């Protein structure tokens, strides 16, 4: 079977939201692969007919359309892009070895299942709940620090090796929120002394040309996050969040969605 090509016979369109880290993942992967794509900004308060048609199950962004067919969920879209254009720009996103591939998938799941919700909870909580959320972020960063220092990714510049790979994209596109939340919430999330390997990796990631082109300016994100936080406080929802058990992931996800939503921009 022919692989999709980036020629004019094959079209790529991305439905996304400007501040959404999941959207940035797909944008960054397409840029790293040198693939051209059309971009359509979505408003969560009023999703476009395209979004509702192509993602009726979750009604979420990002949605990647390849020749009109939808690829849903950001991590699945990254894998699709890598499999469909394996040689593009000489930039494989996944390692060749099956064990290494399994490790990448596992840590991608960790990013969305544990780290992301913990970071979101820092933003959506206050007081003791927030202290516990900060602690959760630190516990999760400790795990990544260990992997970079002496685990599966030891000695690497990026999780992907000498260049950005799929796990770098997934972790990196969420990590700029750490700095945004540190400033807005006046908490310390990434202490370079406590997490030297993670901090070095993040600096390297942020230095990449394609990353700079993808991630919005920090001032814009700060203004956006402050607006959302203000809205949450006025609705009383920030103090309702606690960092215990069952409420953790639900609240964390909800807040990440809120922060990533484009409606306040």
Ligand X SMILES: N[C@@H](CCC(=O)N[C@@H](CS)C(=O)NCC(=O)O)C(=O)O
74 versus 136: smaller Cβ distance to ligand X:
74
Which residue among 30, 33, 37, 74 contacts ligand X (CB under 6 A)? 74
Q: Where in 44-63 is the site for ligand X (CB under 6 A)? A: 44, 59-62
Scanning residues 87 to 126, which ones bind ligand X (CB under 6 A)? Answer: none
**C-beta of 41 vs 257, nearer to ligand X:** 257
From candidates 4, 6, 15, 20, binder to ligand X by CB under 6 A: 20
> Minimum distance between the CB of residue 162 and ligand X, rounded to whole angstroms?
26
CB atoms within 10 A of CB 186: 7
Question: What's the chain look like in SS3?
Answer: CCCCCCCCCCCEEEEECCCCHHHHHHHHHHHHCCCCCEEEECCCCCCCHHHHHHCCCCCCCCEEEECCEEEECHHHHHHHHHHHCCCHHHCCCCCCCHHHHHHHHHHHHHHHHHHHHHHHHHHHCCHHHHHHHHHHHHHHHHHHHHHHHHCCCCCCCECCECCCCHHHHHHHHHHHHHHHHHHHHCCCCCCCCCCHHHHHHHHHHHHCHHHHHHCCCHHHHHHHHHHHHHHHHHHCHHHHCCCCHHHHHHHHHHHHHHHHCCCCC
The least distance separating ligand X from the CB of residue 30, rounded to whole angstroms, comes to 14
Residues 149-168 that bind ligand X (CB under 6 A): none
Which part of the chain contacts ligand X (CB under 6 A), choosing from 82-90, 98-106, 219-227, 253-261? 253-261
Complex with ligand X: residue 58 or 150, whichever CB lies closer: 58
Does 257 interact with ligand X (rule: CB under 6 A)? yes
Nearest approach, Cβ of residue 169 and ligand X (Å): 11
Closer residue to ligand X, CB minimum distance, 64 or 141: 64
Region of 99-107, 117-125, 177-185, 252-260 interacting with ligand X (CB under 6 A) = 252-260
The residues binding ligand X (CB under 6 A) are: 20, 22, 44, 59-62, 73-75, 256-257, 260
């Amino acid at each position: 079977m022919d692989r999709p090509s980036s020629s004019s016979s094959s079209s790529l369109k991305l439905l996304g939201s400007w501040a959404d880290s999941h959207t940035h993942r797909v944008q960054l992967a397409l840029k790293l692969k040198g693939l051209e794509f059309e971009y359509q900004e979505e408003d969560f308060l009023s999703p476009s007919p395209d979004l509702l048609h192509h993602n009726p199950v979750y009604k979420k962004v990002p949605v990647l359309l390849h020749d009109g067919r939808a690829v849903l969920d950001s991590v699945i879209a990254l894998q699709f892009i890598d499999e469909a254009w394996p040689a593009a720009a000489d930039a494989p996103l996944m390692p060749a070895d099956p064990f290494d591939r399994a490790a990448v998938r596992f840590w991608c799941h960790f990013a969305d299942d544990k780290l992301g919700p913990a970071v979101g909870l820092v933003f959506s909580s206050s007081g003791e709940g927030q202290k516990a959320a900060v602690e959760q972020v630190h516990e999760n960063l400790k795990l990544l620090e260990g992997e970079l220092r002496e685990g599966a990714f030891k000695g690497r510049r990026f999780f992907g090796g000498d260049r950005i790979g799929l796990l770098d994209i997934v972790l990196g596109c969420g990590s700029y929120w750490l700095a945004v939340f540190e400033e807005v919430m006046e908490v310390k999330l990434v202490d370079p002394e406590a997490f030297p390997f993670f901090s070095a990796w993040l600096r390297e990631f942020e230095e990449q040309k394609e990353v700079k082109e993808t991630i919005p300016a920090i001032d814009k994100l700060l203004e956006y996050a402050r607006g959302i936080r203000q809205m949450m406080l006025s609705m009383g929802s920030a103090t309702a969040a606690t960092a215990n058990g069952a409420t953790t992931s639900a609240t964390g996800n909800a807040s990440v969605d809120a922060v990533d939503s484009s409606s306040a921009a």
